[in-house]
Amino acid sequence: MSRKWLSNFALAGTIRLLIMNSEYQKIIGNRVEVSTALNSWKRVTEGVYLHKFGIDPYEGDLFHETPIGLYVFTLMQEYLPQWALFLLFVVVDLTTALCLAHAAKHYAFELTMKKKEEKDEKELSKDVPNTSALYVSTAYLFNPYIILNCIGLTTTVFTNLLYSIVLVSMTRRSVLWSCATIALLTLQGLYPMSLMVPATIYVATTAKNRKISIVTMLIVFTSILAILFAVSYCIMGSWSFLWSTIGFILTVPDLRPNIGLYWYFFTEMFEHFRWLFIASFQINVSLLYIVPLALRLRRDPMLLAFSYLAIAAIFKSYPCIGDVGFYISLLPLWKHLFQHMQQGFIVGCFLLFCTVFAPTVWHQWIYSRSANANFYFGVTLAFAIAQIFLLTDILFASVKYEFAVQHGIDKKINGNEAKLLLE
């Protein structure tokens, strides 16, 4: 097992470093599917340059990282040469895979214990946690979306690391680490605040007094978030960063194309409908699904966290393939649900075709001028639909699995494997 781990990490790191030091690095870094207004390293470099010369980087529409991020990125660019910067991105990406492996191992162990309580002897295996950890880390290390995200030097690499720490902290029931990492992510991207729900469920399930544990989580999270805002204010000396970070995410002023749905709608609509659409879109991604999913998936908070991550990656203001690749890498956690899924082939084909067609249609639109914005938006819309199919399919598979476990359904009919259909 250790040889597999070492070979996987070595190969993944080598692939990243080789492409980073090739002529393809700049091409990938400039792709709209990889870099957005929120995670572009080019924008980070320009923001650091402005800050170094005493100019507020939050004036205008250029820099959208947090002041804490600005401080860290300034240190990185001052003290790290280019080769060390490349190496840092690769190490952070490999660390994310390692954290996901630990989270997968803990989650698989919990599933195994549940199955033991349910006396599901066929599903039991002592090696399940290690296998699940290996599958998840491999899915992350060799995910094309993640590889391109790392090669493009996007700040989503660091965001994914924080997400992985959140998942590890959740499975370990760590109040401080869960709240701290979610607070950092909330300061940067707002939508990760929803992860407080599964984190709180994890902590409350093992606490002696659930009400006290819930209140504790809320107090710790609010306190850390307030401290982070105070630190950000001390770094910049003003609150100007709020409009360029959280305000920028909520109001969507930058309408350059990406793999999301906002840019086309807000480009085509009449201006007096803008705030109605902004409210509708933001409620959809941040509020609409939190309570229903929490009620339905309260017994499986990891699947709940996966659902929130997927919804944010699909409907957020400025998504990139790094967001999509992260939650797709978590799919091996639910390999026991694959037998109940029905849309796997369709979703796989959709994702593959959209991944190939997106740069093709972009070239036809921008360079050849033989297409227009409708073509590219058609690809991004299909990409979003494929992700919605994937999420709904795995949620329905979870329902089918629970039904099969409770009722002890035989999966064979006349000696042949059968599928459970819910109508």
With 0-12 / 13-18 / 19 or more C-beta atoms within 10 angstroms meaning exposed / middle / buried, residue 234 is exposed
Would you place residue 413 in the very low, low, confident or very high pLDDT band (cuts 50, 70, 90)?
low
pLDDT above 70: percentage of residues in the chain: 93
pLDDT, one tens digit per residue, over 200-236 is: 999 998 878 888 999 999 999 999 999 999 999 999 9
Question: 3-state SS of the chain: helix, strand, coil percent to 5?
Answer: 75, 0, 25
pLDDT, one tens digit per residue, over 107-160 is: 998 888 777 666 555 544 556 778 888 999 999 999 999 999 999 999 999 999
Residue 415 in this model has a pLDDT that exceeds 80: no
Mean pLDDT of 388-410: 86
Contact 225, 242 (CB under 8 A): no
pLDDT, one tens digit per residue, over 329-354 is: 999 999 888 888 888 899 999 999 99
Distance CA 344, CA 92 (A): 30
Distance CA 302, CA 297 (A): 9
pLDDT, one tens digit per residue, over 58-82 is: 988 889 999 999 999 999 999 999 9
Quote the pTM value.
Answer: 0.93
